[in-house]
Structure formats: structure tokens, C-alpha cells
Amino acid sequence: MSEATTTPNVIEITELVGGYTADVNILNGCDLTVAPGEFVGIIGPNGAGKSTLLKAILGLLKIRSGSVYFHGEEITGTKAHELVGRGVGFVPQTRNVFPSLTVRENLEMGCYLKPSMFHERYEVVSEMFPKLRTRASQPASALSGGERQMVAMGRSLMLNPTVLLLDEPSAGLSPMLQDEVFINCKTINASGVAILMVEQNARRCLQVCDRGYVLDQGRNAYTGSGRELLADPKVIGLYLGTLARATGG
């Protein structure tokens, strides 16, 4: 654990090794921190272990060595539902809404562990995203991809988490809807919720996050602020391509 600060990191991962089967490791010694209120992005090539790292935090795969801490307490291997109850929000890449339920019912599902919180949190979340209130009675299946992603994010906020894990939130969306998703991420982060986001749109991810990690073959390849990584010639050449030289945003 880091001893440099008096306030523990929201998430701290040290030398994490693990995988889905007994003989193959996907993570090969990852280290990562997320400070309170920080927006951290994870990029890297396909198969680098990005989404696997989120699953490791959530106790969804076998961790063979290393540790995961949440607010200074070790949570290595803790079950996902327990972590949700303790303040870890998670939005998976696929199947992240209940299509037959209305928007309001989807948000109610976000409070299934603590139903007494629903009315208070519904007001907070719908104030953050007014469209959720105006679409409250519509089934999620009738929404656009960007709107469904907003519902999934809203549901993950219903238990008032201190950190939100996002797995490829822009996947499959048009560029315009991707921008909407990233704006929503910034809105959530501005409310004080720390974010750890895995994202294939590497350039956009680094434009909106405070810090970024580049994973490759289950290891940390590079880390730095979003702008530093966008301007790093090695990161550009290996992971972003020449278009990443445009660092606006």
C-alpha cells in the first residue's frame, strides 16, 4: 500500500497476477491507483487485459497473487455484490440494462440491495441526467444506444458509489453518441465519483481522463496524465497512431 498520502486511494492494485483458467494468466503484475474523485482511463490493444482488470477488482476471476484495496481495506477476491453494497459501481459493456423494464424500473433495480434509498437517489440521479426523468415510463428497449448507456450509468449510481468502473462505455456507438457518453462520464466525475474506465477509443479516453494507463500483455506499459500519454511518441507510435497528435479536448 502507498504511504505517501493520508487519504487512502479509492482503488489500489499491486502486482496483480490472475486469469480465468488454472494454467493461463491474463494479468501479469498490474499496478494501478485511483485517488478519491479521480478519473482514470485504461487503454491498450485487444487482449491486453483491460476488461479482465475490472473483473479482477470485482472478484470475477482467480487472482493468483497480488492485492486489491478499496479505501485502504483489502478486498482481493471479494464477491461483486458485496463490493456494490460497499460503494463500487460497475457498468458492463454488454447487457447493461433490462430492456423490458422502464427507465424508472431499471433505476429501481439499482437499489435492490438498499430499496429505502430509491427516492432520494432517484432525485439525485435524475437531476444529474434530466433525460432519465423525462423517459422514466419508457421501456429501455425503446431508447437509443447512448440513452441506454445513460440508464446503465444512472442505475450504477443509485447506491451512491465512491467509484464507478466502466467497461468500454462507447462500444458500438456512433461518434456523436460516443461524445454524449464521454460528456456523461465527466458529469458523473464532477459530482465527486471517482471513475476507472476501460476504453477502446484511446484518444478520446485520454482527452477526458486525469490519468491513464496503457496495458500490454497484462502488464503496465506506460502511465501518466492523459495529455502526457497523448503526446508521448512511443504511445502514439505503438497504440494511438498519428491522429493522436491532436490533443485537444
Q: What is the residue-averaged pLDDT of the chain?
A: 91
Residue 231 pLDDT exceeds 90: yes
CA 178 to CA 175: how far, in whole Å?
A: 5
What one-character-per-residue DSSP string does the chain give?
---S-SSPPSEEEEEEEEESBTTB-SEEEEEEEE-TT-EEEEE-STTSSHHHHHHHHTT-SEEEEEEEEETTEE-TT--HHHHHHHTEEEE-SSS-S-TTSBHHHHHHHTTTT-GGGHHHHHHHHHHHSHHHHHTTTSBGGGS-HHHHHHHHHHHHTTT--SEEEEESTTTT--HHHHHHHHHHHHHHHHTT-EEEEE-S-HHHHHHH-SEEEEEETTEEEEEEEHHHHHH-HHHIIIII-GGGG----
Span 208-227, average pLDDT:
95
CA 86 to CA 58: how far, in whole Å?
A: 12
Residue 122 pLDDT exceeds 80: yes
Residue 249 pLDDT exceeds 90: no
Residue 43, C-alpha cell as written in the block: 487503454
The reported pLDDT for the residue numbered 247 is 34
1 close to 70: Cβ distance less than 8 angstroms: no
The pTM (predicted TM-score) of the whole model is: 0.91
CA 24 to CA 74: how far, in whole Å?
A: 24
For residue 38, what are the CA distances in angstroms to 33, 152, 156, 162, 185?
10, 20, 17, 10, 12
Cβ-count burial 198-211 (b if 16+ within 10 Å, e if not) = bbebbbbbbbbbbb
Q: In this predicted model, what pLDDT tens digit does every residue of 167-180 receive, in sequence order? A: 999 988 888 889 99
Nearest to 12 by CA among 76, 83, 82: 76
For residue 19, what are the CA distances in angstroms to 29, 143, 165, 202?
12, 35, 19, 24
CA 33 to CA 83: how far, in whole Å?
A: 17
The reported pLDDT for the residue numbered 5 is 47
Residue 232: pLDDT band (50, 70, 90) is: very high
Q: In this predicted model, what pLDDT tens digit does every residue of 10-57 receive, in sequence order? A: 999 999 999 988 788 999 999 999 999 999 999 999 889 999 999 999
Residue 248 pLDDT exceeds 50: no
Residue 6: pLDDT band (50, 70, 90) is: confident
Nearest to 200 by CA among 242, 230, 170: 170
Residue 242 pLDDT exceeds 80: no
Percent of the chain whose pLDDT exceeds 90: 81
- Name which residue leads in pLDDT, 189 or 145: 189
Residue 1 pLDDT exceeds 60: no
The reported pLDDT for the residue numbered 241 is 66
User: How remote is the C-alpha of 213 from its chain's centroid?
Assistant: 13
Span 106-114, average pLDDT:
95
Span 99-104, average pLDDT:
96
173 close to 181: Cβ distance less than 8 angstroms: yes
Residue 2: pLDDT band (50, 70, 90) is: very low
Residue 80: pLDDT band (50, 70, 90) is: very high
- Name which residue leads in pLDDT, 58 or 5: 58
